[in-house]
Structure 1
Amino acid sequence: MGILTSNTQPQITNSTVRLLNRVPGGSYTYSEHSLSNMGGSINKRQCCLPLYDITANGRSNTTKEVWRRKLRIWVLFCLLVLGSIAALLWLTLLMTLPRHHPPHMPSSGINHVVGQWKGPSDSFTLLAPWMSNFTKDIIPLSCHSHNDYWRPVPLFEALAAGCTGVEADIWLNKKDGSDDLLVGHSLKSLRDDRTLQDLYIKPLITILEYQNNNSAESDGRSSNFNGVFQSSPNATLTLLLDFKSSGSDLWPWVNQELEALRSKGWLTNWSNSTDKINWRPIIVVATGKAPFDLLISNTTYRDIFYDAPLEDIANSKYDESNSYYASVSMSTLGKIWFWKFSSSQLNQIKTQVALANAKGLKARYWDTPALPAIFREYIWGVLVERGVGMLNVDVFPSSLFYPLATRFGQNRLGW
């Protein structure tokens, strides 16, 4: 039995009192006792607390428990919020840090162009006077500069990174009296000064003229040409033209735009007489709405090749005589859960790449993730290990990209 007492000496007017009795489980009951019968078991100067005092004390303890519980919940909530903020900051750093710490670029004249470039006309005006170290120490790699025209400095940033493939989306110029093809991702982004000639054709002609000391033969019979990379003069640069307007409408204009390169013998071509590819400094590949039927209509000579669909690469109509790339969106492999390929996805990549290689074509997966860097480089690593022919690249910031891409050494092209 437990008795709660007080030293306040209240006046007792009743001959009985109620005492609390503790029972198993930690709760209490009360019983009534006569003061006369309690004898000396209680000090009458310290009488029992009234029941209402005990009840109030119990309520006080319950209130404290409620506040303690609320405090614990509040602390857990604060910790959760702080943890979420910390995780968000970590992911932000993971995605943006590589942009602010780009890899060291080799010292070369092309960096001068990148640093001074202000607009499309600079793509060829900045090349004079010619710098003898234009692409010095730049190692050509099997990487494709996806949507290259979006870069702050089209063409030259890709060359400075060592990429042997650049991409331009082309449109018919609907203005009367204009023969120039426009470059841009959508109709709204088109500008009169961003033409295929100014951004790609003219600068490539200028570079190749300097690289070959203006000695290229106009009949196109000589194969002793230097490409754009001084460290590997036999490397071929891929110019991927993504047809955005109607393919049949664009086709004659594209052929006209390429005539300056064709007349100098700088375009890689296929000849029916030898049934072989004659490698030159530039290979042109058509994709998007490009008309495959028009491309193969010339059965004796071709210098524009097709970007075959990798998902249909088993089709016998695609071969080395008419195609060069074999491409497909990464999304066709399905969702990549937890930033890791499934075994079925890995097998699909292996099969597609093997079929493309068997035909002499370069497998390429576009729409690969650009960020976060750790996920992007995991994708690159898997594709390299599976023998993909061309690595699709949207950003050049990660220092891990360069040692990764150098593993493409055996895939470099030469003639």
Structure 2
Amino acid sequence: MHSEYFISIVYSVMKLTLVLPVLVGVAAAVPITRELLALEGDLKTQYSSDFTRDIFVKGIHSHNDYWRDVPLYTALSHGVVSVEADVWHFDGDDAVYVGHHEAALTPARTFASLYIDPLVGILTQANPNNSFTAHDTAPNGVWDTDSGQTLYLFVDVKTDGNATWPYVIEALEPLRQKGWLTTFNGTAITSGPITVVGTGNTPYAFVKAQKTRDYFYDGPVTLLNDTEAYPATLNPIASASFLKTVGLEPNDIPASGLNKSQLASLTKVIDQAHELGIYTRFWEVPWWPVEKRNNLWRQLIEAGSDLLNADDIELAFEFY
């Protein structure tokens, strides 16, 4: 009897010995939410180019980007592939200012402070100089999820083009020194993290005359058939008024958008640009009523236009 009792105790102790580590393990386990909080900011989870991690690129153009509360960064946070800055230059001043009109200009809001300097900082982060990157053959762009994607930087010149453009070229020097600009060598384009596209009063004749350059011209979509005047090496992106391209006034377009014939004509213009290796952007898309705008945006995307021109990039981001 005593022998059976002793065996029972031993058996119970053996079971407890087997189960106890499991119980202790469960008790010692950390819930994943607590583990996540513990690891946030930990060096093991960070890397140099993670500034734009988890952001996926979308074919959106941030029209008048400088209007944002936080220019450039807001666009990048939405994966916007193209931004636009209106620039001004005045005699006796080396700075290039950014603003929609003269009353909006301030000494602090310059092309360098709002765009060039931030881009240098972002790209410096994305291109660490260490033993792991010693054999990299091309620089990374601003997006961690698509490091080969260029950011289009449209420079809309508001003052005299011939007088202003040399100062724009000078302002690009910090990016140029790092080899971060898309270039043309007289024959072909080599893509870089930033592709500068002059628009507005940018001097067409001057840009076209340069045998080598690291800036381009915003060609007219509807005149691309003249490939001598507007080759893809001059204008890798071309733009046009949407209304002028389709030959309509806003009130002529119903809420449902373009009819089949009008959409076919628009698609033909876009296809012709693509055949020449040129991307397209259309501005002056009616924005009201919402149903009309959304249908026109949808038709532009379906027709293959590459950049959705948007003043409200948060809205465009959700729509795209």
TM-score relative to the length of structure 2: 0.77
Q: Give, as a single letter, the amino acid of the residue that structure 2 aligns with 1:181.
A: V
Query: How far off its partner does 1:391 sit?
Result: 1.3
1:180 matched residue in structure 2: 95
Does 2:313 align with 1:396?
yes
Contact 2:254 2:292 in 1 (8 A): no
Q: Which residue does 2:114 correspond to in 1?
A: 199
1:331 and 2:246 are equivalent in the alignment? no
In 1, the alpha carbon distance for the partners of 2:231 and 2:115 equals 27
* 1:233 positional shift: 0.8
Confirm whether residue 260 of structure 1 aligns to residue 177 of structure 2. Answer: no
Please tell me whether the aligned partners of residues 319 and 360 of structure 1 are also in contact (alpha carbons under 8 angstroms).
no
Could you say what the CA RMSD is over the residues aligned between the two structures, in angstroms? 1.9
1:168 alignment partner AA: A
Maintained 8 Å contact 2:78/2:314: no
Equivalent-residue separation in structure 2 for 1:381 and 1:239 (angstroms): 24
CA distance, structure 2, for counterparts of residue 229 and residue 132 of structure 1: 8
Structure 2 counterpart of 1:286: 198
Aligned AA (1:351): K
- Identify the residue that residue 307 of structure 1 maps to in structure 2: 218
Judging changes above 3 Å, is the alpha-carbon distance between structure 1 residues 167 and 223 closer, same or farther for their aligned structure 2 residues? Answer: farther
Alignment of 1:372-383 (within 5 A): 372-383=289-300
Of the three residues 210, 215, 230, the one matched with 1:318 is: 230
Whichever of the two has the greater Rg, that structure is 1
Asked if structure 1 preserves the Cα contact closer than 8 Å seen for 2:85 and 2:154, the reply is yes
- After superposition, the Cα gap between the structure-2 partners of 1:200 and 1:223, relative to the gap in structure 1 and judged at 3 Å, is farther
Identify the structure with bigger relative contact order (alpha carbons < 8 Å, sequence gap 6+). 2
Contact 1:369 1:375 in 2 (8 A): yes
Letter in 2 for 1:385: E
2:105 to 182, 190, 199: 190
Is the contact made by 1:223 and 1:280 (CA closer than 8 Å) also made in structure 2?
no
Partner of 2:57: 140
Contact 1:169 1:241 in 2 (8 A): yes
The worse-fitting range, judged by mean Cα deviation, of 327-336 and 354-363 is: 327-336
Secondary structure of 1:347's counterpart equals helix
Unpaired runs of 5+ in structure 1?
Answer: 1-129, 216-221, 406-415
* Higher share in helix: 2
Partner of 1:297: 209
Cα deviation, residue 276, structure 1: 1.9
SS at match of 2:237: strand
Deviations 1:242-289 (A, max 9, x none): 0111110012111111111111100001112xx221111000000111
The answer to whether the 8 A contact 1:284-1:304 is kept is yes
Which whole-Å CA distance do the structure 2 matches of 1:263 and 1:132 have between them?
Answer: 20
Count matched residues: 263
Contact 1:295 1:305 in 2 (8 A): yes
Return the letter of the residue paired with 1:306.
Answer: Y
Hey, what's the Cα distance between the residues in 1 that align with 2:183 and 2:49? 29
Whole-Å separation in 1 of the counterparts to 2:274 and 2:82: 18
Of 226, 241, 244, the residue aligned with 2:155 is 241
* 1:313/1:352 contact within 8 Å kept: no
Deviation string 1:110-151 (CA, Å, 9 cap, x unpaired) is xxxxxxxxxxxxxxxxxxxx9863211100111110110111
Identity %: 37
